[in-house]
Every structure is written in structure tokens, then in C-alpha cells.
Amino acid sequence: MTTEARIVLLVALGGALGALLRYGTGAAFGRGPFPYATLVVNVVGSFLLALLLFHDLERGTLGPASRAFFAIGLLGAFTTMSTFSHETLALWLDGRSGQAVLNIALNIGLSIGAVVAGRWTIMLIERSAT
């Protein structure tokens, strides 16, 4: 198997796992008046991606295969911009403009906050390791 074919396979496998995790998160939260499951996958996924990539920046231990599986496949399929966008518009069209704006603010604010928290976590780990 060529390197490129192996990378494609790893993205597909990671994507399948990420999609299953996202589906499970949605099932755990159920359908409610606010899209909490999407918020959770976006915030948790942002934090995990930050941990993964900032750790790699510090240590350089993440090879192309691991990056393909985890960052592109698993976390790419776990998080969801399209569902977030659809659910936000659905809230708006349903006359719940306040919840639509809250959904935007929470998804963007908490996801960026999760990336910052991931970066800080890696910085603390690196500091304690030296």
C-alpha cells in the first residue's frame, strides 16, 4: 500500500470513528429545544484538537499518519460546522432569534476558549516536564 493510500485509509477510519462518536453524543443528549449536543462536540473537539496540535508543535511527535487519523479524520468528523449552521438557522426561522444568537456566541466563544485551554494545558505539561 502506498503512503498516500495509507493516509486516505487512516482519514476514513478516523472519520468513521468520529462520526460514530458524534452520533452517540447526539443520542445521549436527545432532541431538545437547544442544540446542546452540537455545542458539546464542537467545544470538546476544539479542545482535543488543540491538545493534539499544540503538543505536536512542542514535541514534534505527531507524524503524518497520526495527524491524518486524529486531526483530519476523527476530530474532523466529530466536530460539525454544518450542523451548527443548520441548527442556528432553524432556531432563527422558528422565531427563537435569541437562542440562535446564543448558539452562535456559545459555539464560537467556547470553542475558541477550548483551544486556548488546550494550549495552556500543553504549556503546563511542558513546563512540568522540564
Q: What is the domain range of residue 27?
A: 3-129
Q: Global pTM?
A: 0.91
The rounded percent of the chain whose pLDDT value lies above 70 is: 100
| Eight-state DSSP code of residue 94 | T
Extract long-range pairs of 28-31: CB within 8 Å, 24+ residues apart: none
Residue 130 is predicted with a pLDDT of: 77
85 pLDDT tier (thresholds 50, 70, 90): very high
Whole-Å CA distances, 66 to 3, 72, 118: 13, 9, 18
In the predicted structure, residue 129 carries a pLDDT above the cut 90: no
Domain count, the chain: 1
Residue 46 is predicted with a pLDDT of: 97
Task: Please give the average per-residue pLDDT across 104-118, as a whole number.
Answer: 98
Query: Largest alpha-carbon pair distance within the chain?
Result: 54
Each residue's pLDDT tens digit, 27-43: 999 999 999 999 999 99
The rounded percent of the chain whose pLDDT value lies above 90 is: 90
Residues in contact with 3: Cβ distance below 8 Å, sequence separation at least 6, in sequence order: 64
Lowest mean pLDDT among 49-63, 71-85, 112-126: 49-63
Each residue's pLDDT tens digit, 41-72: 999 999 999 999 999 877 888 899 999 999 99
Task: Please give the average per-residue pLDDT across 83-99, as a whole number.
Answer: 97
Query: How far is Cα 120 from Cα 55, in angstroms, rounded to an integer?
Result: 11
| Nearest-5° Cα angle at 113, 89 to 80 | 40
Residue 118 CB neighbours (<10 A):
20
